[in-house]
Structure 1
Amino acid sequence: MGKLSVNINKIATLRNSRGGNVPDLLKVAADVQRFGAEGVTIHPRPDERHIRYQDARDLVPVVYTEYNIEGNPVQKFIDLVLETKPTQVTLVPDGDDAITSDAGWDTIKHKSFLQEVIQEFKNNDIRTSIFVDPVVSMVEGAKETGADRIELYTEAFAHEYGLGNEKGITPYIAAAQKANELGLGVNAGHDLSLDNIKFFKENIPGLLEVSIGHALIAESLYLGLENVVNMYLQKLK
């Protein structure tokens, strides 16, 4: 069974839109774990437009499952991760003005930089994952950086699946098979939803964890947060 990590960025977006502390980000983090989620994910960005850096610190005593912090490893982000020491850091090559993540790393071009960053995290006993497109050469490059896992960027799969093209899963299967062969753990995230998660899970060998935020929170508006968390857990079995 792949683990479900709930990305709570959208809760922070809603909170920030009115100021104050409604909804309460820390309570939501506690609740999704109580509902059965096996992890909490946040993705702070330099402008702190949703998750604030202080949120990352405040969540440390609240997250008792797996704590996953995603982001572009600029120095401010690196310092935050080393301070909070999450279970996992996921390196994502976001531009400062990115609305959301839109590409994986070129692990060959940026090999030396990633090696340096990852070694620092490993020295502090923090598991490291690299956000990659479903390209075998990028998976092989991730292995060379010393990463523990990859996170497959699943937007293309979700788009194709929504069009009825199940063959959109093919490059993801090949990437996951290569990761398994190389001893890399496999995570996945971006645009996964209740509609496509079961098919994805059933076809990706060795899937360890999915990080889901936007769809899960949107679905919860209609179905309720506790109900939706458990619907994902059932589909991930």
Structure 2
Amino acid sequence: MTKLSVNINKIATLRNARGHNRPDLLQAARDCERFGAQGITVHPRPDERHIRYQDARDLKSIVTTEFNIEGNPTPDFLALVREVRPEQVTLVPDAPDAITSNAGWDTIRHQEYLQGVVQELKGLGCRVSIFLDPDLDMMRAAATTGTDRIELYTEDYARQYPQDPAAAIQSYRAAAELAQELGLGLNAGHDLDLDNLAYLHQNLPGLAEVSIGHALICDALYLGLENTIQLYRRQLK
């Protein structure tokens, strides 16, 4: 079964717009789990424009499914992870001023660095996933870092899907097959929604988890959070 981890960054964005605690991020996380989410994802950035570092600390004590913290492994981020020790850490090479994640790691260029980070995080008891484009050479290099999983960056798939689903999925299917050969667990995320998620799921062997935030929260404005989470779960059956 492919698990659905709900990224709650956008709920934090709405809260921060007024500077109070409405909506209540912790209650939203509890509700997401109650409505069927199989994990909670957050991506704190240095400017804390949505998820704050304190949010990650607070969430650790209330998330009962799986807690996934994404981010660039800067000294501050690594210090947070050492304190919180989530079930999964997803390493994403985003610049501090990036609006959203926009590329996977160059695991050849950053091989030695990633090996050290992965070793430390696994020593803390965290599962480690590395954010990657569907590039087979980068996947082979990722495997030598010791990472447990990779997360395929699916923006290109989502962009191409409306015009030609078969072409859109081709490189991702090849990546999924190689992940199995390399013994890597497989996650996916970015721009996945109710239109393109089922096709991705049907065509990626071994897909363990998807992390979805922006589209899911947008859909919830019209459909309600509980109904939306259930609709996303149905795409993964």
Q: TM-score, normalized by length of structure 1?
A: 0.99
SS in 1 for 2:161: helix
- Equivalent residue number for residue 114 of structure 2: 114
CA contact (8 A) 1:148 1:185 kept: yes
Once the two structures are TM-superposed, the CA of residue 167 in structure 1 deviates from its matched residue by: 1.2
Pairs within 5 Å for 1:67-106: 67-106=67-106
CA–CA separation in structure 1 for the residues paired with 2:235 and 2:94: 30
Gaps of 5+ in 1: none
Once the two structures are TM-superposed, the CA of residue 46 in structure 1 deviates from its matched residue by: 0.3
Matched letter for residue 51 of structure 1: I
Which deviates more, 115-124 or 160-169? 160-169
CA–CA separation in structure 2 for the residues paired with 1:46 and 1:37: 27
User: Residue deviations 1:129-185, cap 9 Å, x none?
Assistant: 000000111111110111000000000000000234431100000111111111100
SS in 2 for 1:93: coil
CA–CA separation in structure 1 for the residues paired with 2:181 and 2:16: 43
CA–CA separation in structure 2 for the residues paired with 1:87 and 1:182: 22
CA contact (8 A) 1:160 1:166 kept: no
User: Residue deviations 1:90-110, cap 9 Å, x none?
Assistant: 000010100000000001110
Pairs within 5 Å for 1:5-84: 5-84=5-84
Gaps of 5+ in 2: none
Runs (4+) of structure 1 exceeding 3 A deviation are: none
Once the two structures are TM-superposed, the CA of residue 61 in structure 1 deviates from its matched residue by: 1.1
CA–CA separation in structure 2 for the residues paired with 1:6 and 1:166: 27
CA contact (8 A) 1:53 1:80 kept: yes
Matched letter for residue 189 of structure 1: G
CA contact (8 A) 1:70 1:92 kept: yes
User: Residue deviations 1:29-86, cap 9 Å, x none?
Assistant: 0000001110000000000000000000000111010100000000100010110000
Backbone CA RMSD of aligned residues: 0.6
CA–CA separation in structure 2 for the residues paired with 1:34 and 1:164: 36
Q: TM-score, normalized by length of structure 2?
A: 0.99
1:229 aligns with 2:229: yes
1:185 aligns with 2:185: yes
SS in 2 for 1:59: helix
